[in-house]
Amino acid sequence: MCFNPILPSNNQRKRLHGNDLKALANYMKSDQCQNVFLMVTLHDPTIGAGISTAAGIPDFRSPKTGLYANLARLNLPYPEAVFQISFFRNNPVPFYTLAKEIYPERYRPTLTHSFIKLLHSRGLLHTCFTQNIDTLERKAGVPEDKIVEAHGSFATQRCIDCNTPYEDEKMKKAIREEEIPRCERCGGLAKPDIVFFGESLPNKFHTSIPSLQEADLLIVIGTSLTVYPFASLVYFVPEDCPRVLINLVEVGDFDKPDDLVFTGECDEVVRALCRELGWEDELDKAWAETARDVEVVEVAGNFDEAERRIESEMDRVTKDLEKILTVSEAEADTEAPTGIEETSATVKDEDRSCTPVRTGRPNDVDKKQVDVECEQSGGREVVGAAI
């Protein structure tokens, strides 16, 4: 097999009768397992096997193919500035150029996205916490009320000044035609509800944390478990709740009696699990349905080939951004580009200084927020983009 179970240090199990996918499947089919929670994220080849890169969407932190690595060569204060709210206010061009390439309508959900939908269809899914901004969980058929998008998403948008919602079709048109959308009420910039650096996480994320106490099973897929407060969710489930990690390599503290770690590419592990559950045909049918209404569907099945395609795509996007930024700078002293008043990009140091850090396992499972420390600013709220 391409994946292997890793035993926790304490092998005295309470709910699971074994340490393999068969034992997990048997538990999922039992009356003990009623509420399944998921934590999912993008891909980082150094530590995880996330669920959206297989769809062709570039991640943020991969050394060669990630967004930040490719944006680093542009004339930006720093790569993350493209998701920095103060930079966006002054120059929204880089973000909207990039948005055209990563906009969800161009991509198809993966097999793992369809697995999440299958959990819902089977009446097992309680909540899917996701760091992804691509809305592919929604496109796979997972209901909105079952999803908590910790870093926001492209699903909705609003004015950054007066918070007036902006129409979906108008945002799609603006992104397709490389226009800068503006609020019809106050003229301010409109932006997808992605959490930028300098913005707070959605309230739904904080209010959903206590529900983890209802978990009978937590499945963590494709994450480094390093971005907080999202990573702290693994500590909010009941002490005897089985926790399962599906990743390329082992991460985090999965050392409780009923913890399981399966190393491998998530789509392959998920398929094997569904085979044990007797759901494989349903999984394939659910995934086949995702081919509808997708502009760009086919992505290489081979992981190495997929990475080469993403790298080529990101190289093209980077060159396009570089040209636009060069033109923007050249015109800064004369005339602003059409539809854009702000051309000079400045970033406040205090906005950049706030970064989430781990504060340890929470002692109170009913806390609705996880404290984070912000360097210099002394703030208590995590701020960040889809990282």
| Catalytic residue annotation | 151
Question: SS3 of 385, please?
Answer: coil
CA distance 185 to 183: 5
Strands of the chain (E only): list them.
4-6, 36-40, 125-130, 147-149, 152-159, 190-194, 217-221, 243-247, 260-263
Amino acid letter, residue 199: E
DSSP state at residue 189: B
The secondary element (H helix, E strand) that includes residue 43 is: none
Beta bridge partners of 218: 37, 243
CA distance 338 to 238: 55
Show Cβ contacts of residue 277 under 8 Å, excluding neighbours closer than 6 positions. Answer: 25, 28, 29
Strands of 145-280 (E only): list them.
147-149, 152-159, 190-194, 217-221, 243-247, 260-263
